Chain A
Amino acid sequence: MSLLIGTFTIGCILSLLALGVFISFRIFAFPDITADGSVTLGAAVAATLMVHGTSPPLASLAAFAAGMLAGACTGTLYTRFKINSLLSGILVMTALYSINLHIMGKSNVPLLSVSTLVTQSEQLGTKLMRGATGLNLAGWEVSVRDASVLVAVTLAVTLTGTLLYLFLRTNLGMAMRATGDNVQMIRSLGVNDANMIIFGVAISNGFVALSGSLLAQYQGFADVGMGIGMVVWGLASVIIGEALVGTNQLGLTIIGAVMGSVLFRLLVAVALRWGLSPNDLKLITAGFVFCALIVPQFLRKKRLRSAHA
């Protein structure tokens, strides 16, 4: 049971990553690889700040800001210097590797003896349960500490998702969505599309970095290699989410991305339980995204062919 709760918790934490990827890939159609670096950046910034005594909420917020800065760099390379979108992301991601090492001072920062958002929510949960360590949930014995972390993370994701939804329906948010949809139109309505892209990629990476900082707090350490393959992971979540909700209505796609992330994490946990080697995880993830990308095309072609026949 605690394994299941852990899976849900990580799924929720990574759903912030999925929301970040959703913003860059889906809203802006911008294949942003920076995310691999900004996951680690968020973890590194938050962990280092907390080790030096900054309060966990403030450190997480700083992680968000650092991610935004990284995203803004990528956006600037793309819009102002006309560098190909993928290459812009690769440049910033590569630079972030060194920057992350500088921030942490070593390749791994443990958070075991430090107060984090996770330990804080554990304490809060225990206090609310008047010191009980376990509780009975429909016949299952559940650790209060695990459960309170899951509740806290769920609340945080709900709040962030709602804020994102509301933001995308403001004047600014709508202009951002239209920029990804039809640049010619939004320019003719007086919007500086370059600024929109920079800002959008910044927000996207803010989400990704926040996700990285929460992940570090949950697993108890920040590691310089923790971001590898995260873009593909986020993309897989978004694609599963789209399949789950099956519409392109804004609110539902956001919910879908969150659900997709949790479901994907669940699938991975099951696969690992069945004996999948963790070393193969990224290969399987990449293979999955590959299939998810080509299957719709394949189906469309098949449908066309049968329509002609």
Chain B
Amino acid sequence: MLEIQNISKTFHPGTPNEVRSLRGVNLKLGDGSWVIIIGTNGSGKSTLLNAVAGTFLVDEGKLQLAGHDVTRWPEHARAKLIGRVFQNPFSGTSPSLSIQENLSLAARRGRARGLGWGLKESLVDKMRDEVSRLNMGLEDRLENAIGSLSGGQRQALTLLMATWLRPELLLLDEHTAALDPKSADLVIGLTEQVVTREKLTTLMVTHSMHHAATLGDRLIMMHRGQIIHDFHGAEKRRLRPDDLLARFEEVRRAEQLDESAAEMLAQQYI
């Protein structure tokens, strides 16, 4: 389904701000698998998602998605295959357009847009059904501008928009991190529903060790632009939040060791 082959990305190369965000990442996802990505700050989790989505083109490596080599595809072309929910609830919707206009934009994701009428009655009826399943009472407010909604409502709608046409791959980039706990639970519930019901191939970045342990069928941990752990199957099912925290602690210790070792070497040899 998705095959990431040895991709690398360096931002601002040759400047003092040079950041090697991805260093030879390899990942192969089967059809319908739900992979959780965790990692320290700046470990490259979101960068990996953006590389797959095509926000930038990678320096090296190859990306294959649903039988296409998408490595050089621009972002809007990849959108035909990919549904996305962003961390920022403001990123996924168009605030001055109404709920139904936003949904109708999503109903043509990756398709040609011509002079056809945007809000056909049959489409609006379907919107009312789908939106009522969110249990937010938004089905009677389809004509309201999205700008008037809360972050949780927007994220729920963005999730609905990303999956309106079944995507080959769903990318969730810490999509509940900016929400209050109650809205976050709600959006996670909706995510679980749609991913399992539609058997969506999903890459989900999260900060929550609880979500990381309970959701998905595979978990990868990133550090400094590389994948350092990959848990599948039974091993993934056994994982508890405490295990994950312990892994983070290991990384932190190794880091300290590296730094002190480097310092010692520097003192001895320079």
* Residues on A facing B (Cβ under 8 Å): 167, 169-175, 177-178, 181-182, 184-193, 248
Q: Which residue of B lies closest to A167 (CB)?
A: B115
Q: Which residue of B lies closest to A172 (CB)?
A: B113
Interface check B110, CB cutoff 8 A = yes
Q: Name which of B72-80, B192-200, B256-264 contacts chain A.
A: B72-80
Chain A contacts for B74, CB-based, 8 A: 192
**Interface of chain B: mostly helix, strand, loop or mixed:** loop
User: Which of chain B's residues 97-117 have a Cβ closer than 8 Å to chain A?
Assistant: 97, 101-102, 104-106, 108-111, 113-117
Chain B contacts for A182, CB-based, 8 A: 90-91, 93-95
Give the complex CA separation of A191 and B110 in angstroms: 7
Give the complex CA separation of A173 and B53 in angstroms: 25
Q: Which residue of A lies closest to B86 (CB)?
A: A184
Q: By the criterion CB–CB under 8 Å, are A171 and B76 in contact?
A: no
Interface check B84, CB cutoff 8 A = yes
User: Which residue of A171, A173, A188, A248 is within 8 Å of B108 (Cβ)?
Assistant: A171
- Asked if A178 meets B119 with Cβ closer than 8 Å, knowing A185-B91, A248-B96, the reply is no
**Interface of chain A: mostly helix, strand, loop or mixed:** helix
Q: Which residue of B lies closest to A196 (CB)?
A: B113
- Asked if A181 meets B97 with Cβ closer than 8 Å, knowing A169-B117, A169-B118, the reply is yes
- Asked if A181 meets B96 with Cβ closer than 8 Å, knowing A175-B113, A189-B79, A190-B77, the reply is yes
Chain B contacts for A174, CB-based, 8 A: 97, 101, 104-105, 113, 118
Q: By the criterion CB–CB under 8 Å, are A185 and B92 in contact?
A: yes
- Asked if A173 meets B95 with Cβ closer than 8 Å, knowing A178-B105, A187-B79, A190-B77, the reply is no
Give the complex CA separation of A186 and B117 in angstroms: 18
Q: By the criterion CB–CB under 8 Å, are B93 and A185 in contact?
A: yes
Counting chain B residues whose Cβ lies within 8 A of the other chain, the interface size class is 35 or more
Q: Which residue of A lies closest to B82 (CB)?
A: A188
User: Which residue of B84, B94, B115, B162 is within 8 Å of A178 (Cβ)?
Assistant: B94
User: Which residue of A167, A170, A192 is within 8 Å of B76 (Cβ)?
Assistant: A192
Chain A contacts for B75, CB-based, 8 A: 187-188
Q: By the criterion CB–CB under 8 Å, are A191 and B91 in contact?
A: no
Q: Which residue of A lies closest to B112 (CB)?
A: A171
Of the candidates A171, A175, A193, the one having the most CB atoms from chain B within 10 angstroms of its own CB is A171
Give the complex CA separation of A16 and B101 in angstroms: 26
Give the complex CA separation of A185 and B80 in angstroms: 13
User: Which residue of B77, B94, B114 is within 8 Å of A186 (Cβ)?
Assistant: B94
In the complex, number of A-B residue pairs with CB atoms less than 8 Å apart: 89
Q: By the criterion CB–CB under 8 Å, are A177 and B97 in contact?
A: yes
CB distance from B191 to the nearest CB of A (A): 17
Interface check B2, CB cutoff 8 A = no
Q: By the criterion CB–CB under 8 Å, are A170 and B92 in contact?
A: no
Chain A contacts for B221, CB-based, 8 A: none
Chain A contacts for B48, CB-based, 8 A: none
Give the complex CA separation of A219 and B243 in angstroms: 81
Chain B contacts for A177, CB-based, 8 A: 94, 96-97, 101
* Residues on B facing A (Cβ under 8 Å): 53, 74-77, 79-80, 82, 84, 86, 90-97, 101-102, 104-106, 108-111, 113-119, 145, 161-162
Chain A contacts for B97, CB-based, 8 A: 174, 177-178, 181
CB distance from A120 to the nearest CB of B (A): 30
Of the candidates B84, B86, B113, the one having the most CB atoms from chain A within 10 angstroms of its own CB is B113
Q: By the criterion CB–CB under 8 Å, are A188 and B94 in contact?
A: no
- Asked if A190 meets B94 with Cβ closer than 8 Å, knowing A167-B115, A169-B118, the reply is no
CB distance from B166 to the nearest CB of A (A): 14
CB distance from B116 to the nearest CB of A (A): 5
Q: By the criterion CB–CB under 8 Å, are A184 and B119 in contact?
A: no
Q: By the criterion CB–CB under 8 Å, are B96 and A188 in contact?
A: no
Give the complex CA separation of A169 and B124 in angstroms: 14
Give the complex CA separation of A167 and B86 in angstroms: 30
Chain B contacts for A175, CB-based, 8 A: 105, 113
Of the candidates B94, B106, B162, the one having the most CB atoms from chain A within 10 angstroms of its own CB is B94
Q: Which residue of A lies closest to B101 (CB)?
A: A174
Chain B contacts for A190, CB-based, 8 A: 76-77, 79-80, 108-111
Give the complex CA separation of A190 and B79 in angstroms: 5
- Asked if A184 meets B91 with Cβ closer than 8 Å, knowing A189-B161, A192-B76, the reply is yes
Give the complex CA separation of A171 and B77 in angstroms: 18
Q: Which residue of B lies closest to A181 (CB)?
A: B94
Of the candidates A181, A192, A193, the one having the most CB atoms from chain B within 10 angstroms of its own CB is A181
- Asked if A191 meets B76 with Cβ closer than 8 Å, knowing A171-B114, A174-B101, the reply is yes
Chain A contacts for B91, CB-based, 8 A: 182, 184-185
Chain A contacts for B96, CB-based, 8 A: 177, 181, 248
Give the complex CA separation of A19 and B109 in angstroms: 29
Q: By the criterion CB–CB under 8 Å, are A170 and B118 in contact?
A: yes
Q: By the criterion CB–CB under 8 Å, are A189 and B86 in contact?
A: no
Q: By the criterion CB–CB under 8 Å, are A191 and B119 in contact?
A: no
Q: By the criterion CB–CB under 8 Å, are A171 and B79 in contact?
A: no
Q: By the criterion CB–CB under 8 Å, are A171 and B115 in contact?
A: yes
User: Which residue of A171, A186, A192 is within 8 Å of B118 (Cβ)?
Assistant: A171
Q: By the criterion CB–CB under 8 Å, are B79 and A188 in contact?
A: yes
CB distance from B186 to the nearest CB of A (A): 21
Q: By the criterion CB–CB under 8 Å, are A170 and B79 in contact?
A: no
